Amino acid sequence: MKVVCIGSGNVATHLAKAIHEAGFTVSQIVSRTEENAKKLALSVNAEWTTSPDDIEEADIYIYSVSDSALCEIIRLNPHKEGLHVHTAGSMSLSLFADIKERGGVLYPLQTFSKGKAVDFKDIPLFIEASNANDLNILRELASAISNKVYEASSAQRQQLHLAAVFACNFTNHLFAIAESILHEADIPFEVLRPLIQETIDKTATLSPREGQTGPAVRKDFNVMNKHLDKLTDHPRWQEIYRLLSESIIDNH
Amino acid sequence: MKVVCIGSGNVATHLAKAIHEAGFTVSQIVSRTEENAKKLALSVNAEWTTSPDDIEEADIYIYSVSDSALCEIIRLNPHKEGLHVHTAGSMSLSLFADIKERGGVLYPLQTFSKGKAVDFKDIPLFIEASNANDLNILRELASAISNKVYEASSAQRQQLHLAAVFACNFTNHLFAIAESILHEADIPFEVLRPLIQETIDKTATLSPREGQTGPAVRKDFNVMNKHLDKLTDHPRWQEIYRLLSESIIDNH
């Protein structure tokens, strides 16, 4: 099975390496950025190009590019045949309709950062395809790189992507705020790690709703007002504090 | 060293057990709720009472009660002598002044839930005392139950408590929202766990600010608007989505 990987960002890089390490042939890397294309191609023993016209023929084309670039690059790929697969959480399978004959999705539910390796085996992969045969091909590819392969419709995947923004992107931003607050008191972020780890560990035995702790769920307005006072110099964080506390109170 | 523990909630329970297991004598549990007092007393081989008048003499009195009950129970404790210690993140050491001669703080930076055991050895304990001698006593006690003992002033501890609300209580609420969003698509919360774990693991090598991913940091308004549309039936979550996205954009 010959795979062409289109894109050279975080997702493309981690995915191309996982496919290569699973023993599949990554034949070509396609990227607008020559330097990135070369670098990734070297690490997976592939050819590379920056020109869509030079995309080679393959069994599978995997597009891991920004949502805004996705439709255009699919259109620019001269090959009609083969299985065309995107990796975007929020994009529908239907965007392949009328452009390619066979479309699919392989969505890795994970956050990828440059310079931080991840083990693909543990990453949930959500697959979808326009026909049963292609779903089998995707299942074979996905199962070779991860132990957690699920089928999901486009609608389900969009809910997943939305939930992931809350659970990962917004959570990480709360960590960034906490880090800034600690920094003002000369305390390293490090000391929060056991607390954060326990917050997650708890969700294995208690649902997040059941496991809620803190001043808001206790309706301890005395503590909440003290905290809001301490945030006077940070009106944005104060607004976040107020809104999330109200949401917790509403929810309990 | 004889320790009287006042309170029988989550913090009091976990702390009394840790002190007992470290080989100290928990001589008495004091709690307004007879059932809780009895249960905790039994598990740490202590006496118990529901009446502040019957508090026994001890070397250390540890108050783990709600912030609102704290001042009153300190006042009601008939013993002036001994070291009086509270465990509240947001309360100052100075609340002991004029009531007791020797005051201290032992703040465990952790989230405690009933029915979820925690290993005290890994919990950062922040100590403070009104004199050097009592600080040594607290350090001895704290070091016997945890490997992570730090000194912190009342002002530092209040910042810690505020940061912990962002990093734990608010984070957990985001998990609860994510769980509800997934529930609407018939997907179990479980699938988010590798993503959440990686979000935390990343903070060991990248600061939360550096490790930020997602549509907001990419200023991908197309995806953000799609997500906001999906939240039409949940105006509160929509408001949270908008505010946190704006805050991420501001911060990058």
ipTM for this model:
0.91
Contact B174 A166 (CB under 8 A): yes
pLDDT tens digit sequence for A109-148: 998 877 777 888 999 999 999 999 999 999 999 999 999 9
Q: Which two tokens stand for residue A70?
A: 């996705």
What residues in A contact B213, CB-CB < 8 Å? 10, 111-113, 168-169, 172
Length of chain A measured in residues = 252
What residues in A contact B183, CB-CB < 8 Å? none
Contact B160 A177 (CB under 8 A): no
Query: By CB neighbour count within 10 A (0-12 exposed, 13-18 middle, 19+ buried), where does A50 fall?
Result: middle
pLDDT tens digit sequence for A16-31: 999 999 999 999 999 9
Q: Considering only the beta carbons, identify the residue of A112, A200, A212 that sits closest to B173.
A: A212
Residue of chain B with shortest Cα separation from A194: B123
The whole-number pLDDT of residue A58 equals 97
Task: List the B60-63 sheet strands across, edge first.
Answer: B47-49, B25-30, B2-6, B60-63, B83-86, B102-108, B125-129, B149-151
CATH 3.40.50.720 location in chain B? 2-152
pLDDT at A193 over 90: yes
Spatial contact of A102 and A83, defined as CB atoms under 8 Å apart:
yes
pLDDT tens digit sequence for B219-241: 999 899 999 999 999 999 999 99
pLDDT tens digit sequence for A166-192: 999 999 999 999 999 999 999 999 999
CB pairs A-B closer than 8 Å: 338
How would you write the pLDDT of chain B (252 residues) with one tens digit per residue?
899 999 999 899 999 999 999 999 999 999 999 999 999 999 999 999 999 999 999 999 999 998 889 999 999 999 999 999 999 999 999 999 989 999 999 999 998 877 777 888 999 999 999 999 999 999 999 999 999 999 999 999 999 999 999 999 999 999 999 999 999 999 999 999 999 999 999 999 999 999 999 999 999 998 999 999 999 999 999 999 999 999 999 999
Spatial contact of A243 and B198, defined as CB atoms under 8 Å apart:
no
C-alpha to C-alpha distance for B29 and B41, rounded to whole angstroms: 6
Q: How far is B94 from chain A (nearest CA, A)?
A: 16
Question: What does pLDDT average to over chain A?
Answer: 95
Q: Considering only the beta carbons, identify the residue of A112, A192, A203 that sits closest to B189.
A: A203
Burial A53-62 (b: 16+ CB within 10 A, else e): eebeebbbbb
pLDDT tens digit sequence for A138-172: 999 999 999 999 999 999 999 999 999 999 999 99
pLDDT tens digit sequence for B90-129: 999 999 998 999 999 999 999 887 777 788 899 999 999 9
Phi (first) and psi of residue B30, to 5 degrees: -115, 120
C-alpha to C-alpha distance for A85 and A77, rounded to whole angstroms: 12
Nearest CA to B5 among B33, B47, B34? Answer: B47
Question: Residue for token digits 């001698």?
Answer: B133
The whole-number pLDDT of residue B118 equals 80
What residues in A contact B10, CB-CB < 8 Å? 213
Q: How far is CA B111 from the centre of its chain?
A: 4
Radius of gyration over every alpha carbon of chain B, rounded to an integer in angstroms: 22
Question: What does pLDDT average to over chain B?
Answer: 95
Architecture of the domain defined by A158-250:
Orthogonal Bundle (1.10)
The whole-number pLDDT of residue B67 equals 86
The whole-number pLDDT of residue B113 equals 77
* CATH code of the domain made up of B2-152: 3.40.50.720
Radius of gyration over every alpha carbon of chain A, rounded to an integer in angstroms: 22
Residue of chain A with shortest Cα separation from B167: A175
The whole-number pLDDT of residue A113 equals 77
Contact A196 B167 (CB under 8 A): yes
CATH 1.10.1040.20 location in chain B? 158-250
C-alpha to C-alpha distance for A105 and B159, rounded to whole angstroms: 45
The whole-number pLDDT of residue A119 equals 85
C-alpha to C-alpha distance for B244 and A165, rounded to whole angstroms: 10
Long-range (24+ apart) CB contacts under 8 A made by A63-70 are A63/A6, A63/A7, A63/A87, A64/A5, A64/A6, A64/A7, A64/A9, A64/A11, A64/A12, A64/A15, A65/A6, A65/A7, A65/A9, A65/A12, A66/A9, A66/B218, A66/B220, A67/A91, A67/B220, A67/B222, A67/B223, A68/B220, A68/B222, A70/A95
The whole-number pLDDT of residue A157 equals 97
Contact B211 A116 (CB under 8 A): yes
What residues in B contact A207, CB-CB < 8 Å? 176, 179, 189
Mutate to test the interface with A, among B112, B120, B151, B169 (most CBs of A within 10 A): B169
